[in-house]
Amino acid sequence: MRGDVTTTRMVPMSDLCQDLYGLSAAPPEAFLDYGKALLVIAGADGEVGEAELAWLVDHQRRMGAPEEVIDLYKEFDHRGAQLTDLLPAIRTDVDTWQAAPHLVYHAIQMCGADGVYAEAERAQVLRAARLMGVPDDIVLSLHALVDMERAVGDLRAALFHVNSV
């Protein structure tokens, strides 16, 4: 697969993606541009850290992204990209699905993967959300959701004596 993934074929998404988001297929360019959009947002503080990139790769694998698409994330220069150029190709097999709130949700998770949710990243998440038409109250709710999910994960780890890596 070349760096300009353009095809109309649909790639099956993982069972996890179907369970979490109700999606069963997307074209490769949707996976590619979704990941690139997350890189643009997470890179707002000047760089995409190793933990952030690792989060993206793991997340996309768990969603069913093809490996050739994932490989392209590592080559992508987020500094010269425009979020608005990436959004049109992000589509799935569910017409009512909207990428915007999912991107905000995943961007918050990715930006915090290194343990630091930089102010520039937080501001970029908000700018991206506004650009995509996600209301501020939904952004605030998504931040709270991510915080709650982290707390539940910590609680689960404590209850079952799971050592974090």
Q: What is the DSSP letter of 64?
A: T
* 79-132 tens-digit pLDDT: 999 988 999 989 899 989 999 999 999 999 999 998 888 888 899 899 999 999
User: Is 15's pLDDT higher than 70?
Assistant: yes
Domain 11-159 in CATH: superfamily? Answer: TerB-like (1.10.3680.10)
What are the pLDDT digits (tens) for 72-81? 999 999 999 9
Distances (CA, A) of 34 to 47, 63, 66, 99, 115: 18, 12, 13, 8, 22
Provide the β-strand partners of residue 26: 11
What residues does each domain of the chain span? 11-159
- Separation CA 97–CA 28 (nearest Å): 17
pLDDT for the residue 6: 47
pTM reported for the whole predicted model: 0.88
Express each pLDDT in 136-159 by its tens digit: 999 999 999 999 999 999 999 999
Closest to 39 in 3D by CA, of 121, 137, 100 = 121
